Amino acid sequence: MLNKKLLLCAPALLPALAGAQGRYNIVYIMTDDHTAQMMSCYDSRFVNTPNLDRIAQDGVKFTRSYVANSLSGPSRACMLTGKHSHKNGFTNNEHGIFDGSQQTMPKLMQKAGYQTAIIGKWHLVSLPTGFDYWNIVPEQGDYYNPDFITMKNDTVREQGYITNVITDKSIDWMENGRDKSRPFILFIHHKACHRNWLPEMKYLTEYENTNFPVPETFYDTYEGREAAAVQEMHIGKDMDMAYDTKMYRPGMKTRLTPNYLRMIGRMDSVDLNRYNDVYEPMVLDFYRKKLTGKELAEFKYQRYMRDYAKVLKSLDDNVGRVLDYLKEQGMLDSTLVVYTSDQGFYMGEHGWFDKRFMYEESFSTPLVMRLPEGLKARGDISEMVQNIDYAPTFLDIAGAEIPGDIQGCSLLPLLQGKHPKDWRKSLYYHYYEYPAEHMVKRHYGVRNDRYKLIHFYRDIDKWELYDLQTDPQELHNIYGQPGTEKVTKQLRKELKRLQEQYDDPIREQFPL
């Protein structure tokens, strides 16, 4: 049978690679919920991320980088397998258990002679397989004095702020934990900058004097977009006053107050006092002002932006530490450094936080790579790429064969500075976690260079069509409008083709 993957991917190219040990090491750094708007090499409006930007400066920045399913566990499973959710079986966080007996990229990397290690957030319920070393946080992990699960399946509490601890452990593994004569792939998976954005002590007051610009679409009314209208991820309506904005007063009983108290309760008393010294005056001031309506919504937005930015500051420092370590060890020329997130995020666009939707802010994810000697590409890469591409890329770099059932495409030709004419022209997306927290309806869709078509289904049957050229903020659903017949037909055909290509059974539910 014809290998359908080849129809989408560029022809396989033989890697002419020569790292220090003959093969490149790979350091893969993935954060949680870090969106491109909050990374200065993508968007300089909000924060400065000099160390993340260093990665792109010495390599490449993908300007059209997307996920296959904008949620943590599913995104991680896509990355590890190179397959869409319906193929790797982990479609949603709430009920998913990753089947660790399946083929995964780390297992194939081991077969190719690589040492494999993962440190930090795992979030796939079953314990890791295919890693020579792992040390993961339970579920979402904690910002302060986090627990880690060891390979003996013990849970050990570590002192410190999670982003620092994960980095310490990662550098320690590179220094002391591996066989230095063999190449390695190390996955550094941060909790930063996941909800509820708790800062490191040294950055408690950082950004407190910054007023972030309120996004143009903050007061979106969701006209013509039924699924967008019924979500529960609205900064004004859905952010918890104690847990998210940290405006906690003794005796307060919001839905998430117990979670908030548990999290800050992990700090030792010295840190908790420092934390309270900064937040308590804000709390007093806030309740004195008795804000309502738009003022309250914008207050919550500022609190959200500031805390998220504080968390990022520690993240950026720690990425810098990894780059400095590789430099000091003379390993930069032989190591591919990848930085990405498990998905993008809303920073007030449409009035939202969280992710899940196939709209650009959360469908996209930052992706920059520092390239070792021999990989010639530099600057922006605009080909459409997706997180199912990472597995075949790393296998290609290892010189290993890419199994035919892997659905992503190797990015190696792009890293070599090539622009294959037959590179994919469209992307497929499928989100499943509904009904669930934030109430984002199930949907699948296709995006090409200019248009996006989305179908929301299950207890809703709505199509949305956007012209990203004239409506990049996706405010005008033009599905069904006169003049869109031709493009709708083309996109529905492309959607059907992708669902056949990727063998997603959902296609049975809507005859074209």
Interface residue list for ligand SGN (CB under 6 A): 32-33, 71-72, 93, 123, 140, 194-196, 256, 259, 342, 354, 437-438
Whether residue 321 contacts residue 206, with contact meaning beta carbons closer than 8 Å, is answered with: no
Q: What is the radius of gyration, based on Cα positions, of the chain? A: 22
Residue 349 binds: one of ligand SGN, Ca ion, none (C-beta under 5 to 8 A by kind): none
Toward ligand SGN, which CB reaches closer, 86 or 195? 195
Nearest distance from C-beta of residue 69 to ligand SGN, angstroms: 10
- Non-local CB neighbours of 172 within 8 Å, separated by 6+ positions: none
Toward ligand SGN, which CB reaches closer, 124 or 415? 124
Pairing mode, if any, of strands 385-386 and 65-66? parallel
Nearest distance from C-beta of residue 74 to ligand SGN, angstroms: 8
Give CA–CA dist 186/27, Å, rounded.
5
Q: Retrieve residue 287's tokens.
A: 């309740």
Number of chain positions touching Ca ion (CB under 5 A):
4
Residue 195 binds: one of Ca ion, ligand SGN, none (C-beta under 5 to 8 A by kind): ligand SGN
Residue 196 binds: one of ligand SGN, Ca ion, none (C-beta under 5 to 8 A by kind): ligand SGN
Nearest distance from C-beta of residue 70 to ligand SGN, angstroms: 8
Toward ligand SGN, which CB reaches closer, 358 or 402? 358
Toward Ca ion, which CB reaches closer, 33 or 494? 33
Toward ligand SGN, which CB reaches closer, 33 or 316? 33
- Kindly state whether residue 35 participates in binding Ca ion, applying the rule CB under 5 A: no
SS in 3 state form for 230-285? HCCCEHHHHCCCCCCCCCCCCCCCCCCHHHHHHHHCCCCHHHHHHHHHHHHHHHHH
Nearest distance from C-beta of residue 196 to ligand SGN, angstroms: 6
Helices 50-57 and 293-328: crossing angle in degrees, nearest 10, is 50
Q: CA 11 → CA 67, 76, 334, distances in Å?
A: 22, 26, 25
Nearest distance from C-beta of residue 251 to Ca ion, angstroms: 32
Which residue, among 79, 184, 82, has the nearest Cα to 131 in the 3D structure? Answer: 184
Toward ligand SGN, which CB reaches closer, 196 or 393? 196
Give CA–CA dist 414/381, Å, rounded.
8
- Kindly state whether residue 354 participates in binding Ca ion, applying the rule CB under 5 A: no
Nearest distance from C-beta of residue 75 to Ca ion, angstroms: 7
Nearest distance from C-beta of residue 467 to ligand SGN, angstroms: 29
- Kindly state whether residue 342 participates in binding Ca ion, applying the rule CB under 5 A: yes
Residues 70-129 close enough to bind Ca ion by CB under 5 A: 72
Residue 109 has a CB neighbour count (10 Å cut-off) of 25
DSSP 3-state of 388: helix
Toward ligand SGN, which CB reaches closer, 20 or 256? 256
- Kindly state whether residue 32 participates in binding Ca ion, applying the rule CB under 5 A: yes
Residue 190 binds: one of Ca ion, ligand SGN, none (C-beta under 5 to 8 A by kind): none
Q: Retrieve residue 430's tokens.
A: 């499928």
- Kindly state whether residue 433 participates in binding Ca ion, applying the rule CB under 5 A: no
Toward ligand SGN, which CB reaches closer, 71 or 337? 71
Q: For CA atoms 70, 71, 72, 75, give the dihedral sign.
A: negative
User: Contact region for Ca ion (CB under 5 A) — 65-73, 136-144, 212-220, 492-500?
Assistant: 65-73
Give CA–CA dist 394/380, Å, rounded.
20
Whether residue 117 contacts residue 187, with contact meaning beta carbons closer than 8 Å, is answered with: yes
Nearest distance from C-beta of residue 431 to ligand SGN, angstroms: 11
Give CA–CA dist 434/56, Å, rounded.
36
Q: Which one of residues 9, 33, 109, 428 is an interface residue with Ca ion (CB under 5 A)? A: 33
Give CA–CA dist 42/65, Å, rounded.
12
Residue 61 binds: one of ligand SGN, Ca ion, none (C-beta under 5 to 8 A by kind): none
The dihedrals phi and psi of 345, each to the nearest 5 degrees, come to: -165, 155
Nearest distance from C-beta of residue 308 to Ca ion, angstroms: 13
Residues 174-203 close enough to bind Ca ion by CB under 5 A: none
Nearest distance from C-beta of residue 197 to Ca ion, angstroms: 13
